[in-house]
Structure 1
Amino acid sequence: MNCSGKQNQNLPVPCPVTAQEQIPLTNLGTTVTAGAAVTRIKVPVVLAEPTLQIVVESNITLPSAATEIKRVKKNVFLTQVKLIPVAFARIDGTDFFNVTRAKLFVAGNIRKNIEYASNACNGALQDRIANVPFSGFTDLVGPSLINAPIVGISESAEANFLNDTTNLDARLDKYFFQNLVKYNEQPYGELVAANFFELDFSPNMAGPQRPFNTLREKIVLDLTVKVLQVQQLAVAATAVVPALPGLTPPVSPPPTTL
């Protein structure tokens, strides 16, 4: 048998790839100096971080007949994370309230990319993209509220007047109105994690190499979301600024007098 290198001559040649070596850069720490004291900041505060269990079932019609499911990729897209306060406790000495109980409404869809094979001997893989909607709510109270949302309630007042001449009846053409409108920071949500447990199958069991066009899915989704609200906090901190040489002249000491 001739084991020469002639067989290797028919192998495909890999495509060349252009590469460029990167120049290493120095990495030095930046010196900072203390600035003025900071006593108040406004930052997002975590109100809750629940893990919600969502259970959905749906039928997905495939555009062409399948004989085998190869892979299913999933992602979550949220369209709604809304916090609705239902119980309040007044903050002493103010007309603002801490929310002690709230309903959290969540809605979105599970985007599925289903890859499947046909009954062709050497056919290409097919795919079907489907959006499975879900929605629901949960109760946030007690330990599930990590920090209380803060809500300011708007108020209206009205004053009426007597008849200037008789002082015996009301004037219907004269009123005093007062309206106090408080504009609150809207709580909002962030998607943290999605854990899928899923069973996909044909409603009518198909034998080997037998085609089917409908896929029934049962999904249990553990969805973790973070609910936040921008709040004003009192802190004990010090601002720091970078001390970059050469940008500003050094401060000269005051001259001494004789």
Structure 2
Amino acid sequence: MNNYKKYFKKTRTGFESCSKPEKKDVGAKKQAVVQGKCPPLKQGDQADVTQADFGAFPLEVEGNVLHVPVIHAAVPLAEIELTANLEAKITLPTPAKEIKNIRKNVFLTQCKAVPSLSGTNFVSLFITGFIHKNIQYADGSGYIRDYEVDVPFSCNQTIELANLRDPALTSLKNTVLERRELAQSKHSADQCQYSQVNFEVFNEPIECKLLATFINEVDILKKYDKRGHFNKITEKMELLLFLKLLQVQQVALNDRRDHCETRNQSVMERIQQLRDGIE
């Protein structure tokens, strides 16, 4: 009787057959969604390449003709060598019989160039960093132990530049300048209206790039015990840092002032004019 109800339904005139409801094709729907995206390329087997020859042909180097012959690029301000003498005392975690190798790497955590008040051809350089040392030593047991330690250093120095930096324009700490008007009585300021001027001037920062480092080192072993083991190392190091200072500037490829009698104001000149007018 239950199967009978599945395939027939009762009406006023009697029983009528009803078709079995079709199942939704979930797979077709999923397939339609997948077909909406580009399928990934099937990776094939790789052949063994025995030889691949390439040819190089020089081509003419061409460039755009600038209506205003200037470029906006990083300008090297100075390439300098800094020398520092360091002395560090290191205590090994376990007694050592012999130092096998000491690997050293220099890391700068700060290299900040601040425009100096001495002039546009000077900057004050502030450097902090550390020397990461990986000490490998034998403790007499037949095994090589590994110990890592950092030796910090800092340096403050005034540097003379080979190329001039851009003049640093300053902003006021409170950059709101108010303009008040007299009231109609001419005896006080008008309390119902006022105006103000806000300004900020942005300067290109001077970037610092580490080019190379050299470490000249002498290790003095101390605190020997009766078995000839030690756990103290005094290091005397001469550290050389080679740095390049860069600043993004607008550089003229030629002197445009020689080719034209009249010249418009530059951005920096216009900013300075506005500053002079409101200060």
Q: Normalising by structure 2, what TM-score?
A: 0.65
Tell me the amino acid that sits aligned with residue 123 of structure 2: A
Structure with greater helix percent? 2
Match of 2:246 among 228, 234, 248: 228
Instruction: Give the aligned partner of residue 93 of structure 2.
Output: 63
* Structure showing the higher strand proportion among its residues: 1
CA gap of 1:81–1:23, structure 2 versus 1, over 3 A, is: same
For structure 2, the 5+ residue unaligned runs are 1-47, 255-279
Contact 2:219 2:236 in 1 (8 A): yes
Larger Cα-atom Rg: 2
| CA distance in structure 2 between the aligned counterparts of 1:189 and 1:228, rounded to whole angstroms | 6
Q: Looking at both structures, which has the greater relative contact order when contacts are Cα pairs under 8 Å and sequence separation is at least 6?
A: 1
Decide which moves more: 25-34 or 144-153. 25-34
Structure 1 residues 70 and 158 mapped into 2: Cα distance closer, same or farther (>3 Å)? same
Match of 1:39 among 43, 62, 69: 69
Q: 2:148 aligns with which of 116, 122, 129?
A: 129
CA contact (8 A) 1:109 1:131 kept: yes
Q: How far, CA to CA, are the matches of 1:115 and 1:175 in structure 2? A: 73
Q: Deviations over 1:25-75 (max 9, x none)?
A: 111123344542361111111122221112222222223221111221211
Cα shift at 1:170: 2.2
AA paired with 1:110? I
Within 2, Cα distance between the matches of 1:139 and 1:22? Answer: 57
Instruction: Provide closer, same or farther for how the CA distance between residues 137 and 68 of structure 1 changes in structure 2, counting only shifts above 3 A.
Output: same
* Superposed CA RMSD: 2.4
TM-score, reference length from structure 1 = 0.70
Cα deviation digits, residues 94-130 of structure 1 (max 9, x gap): xxxxx2432100011111111212223xx13222121
Structure 1 residue runs without a partner (length 5+): 1-18, 90-98, 237-258
How has the CA–CA distance of structure 1 residues 183 and 22 changed in structure 2, closer, same or farther, with 3 Å as cutoff? farther
2:272 aligned partner: none
Letter in 1 for 2:53: P
Q: How many residues align?
A: 202
- How far residue 20 of structure 1 moved from its aligned partner, in angstroms, is 6.3
Write the mapping of 1:83-122 to structure 2, written as runs, cut at 5 A: 83-87=113-117, 99-120=120-141
Specify which of 145, 157, 169 is matched with residue 152 of structure 1: 169
1:134-157, Cα deviation, whole Å (9 max, x unpaired): 1121012xxx21122212223544
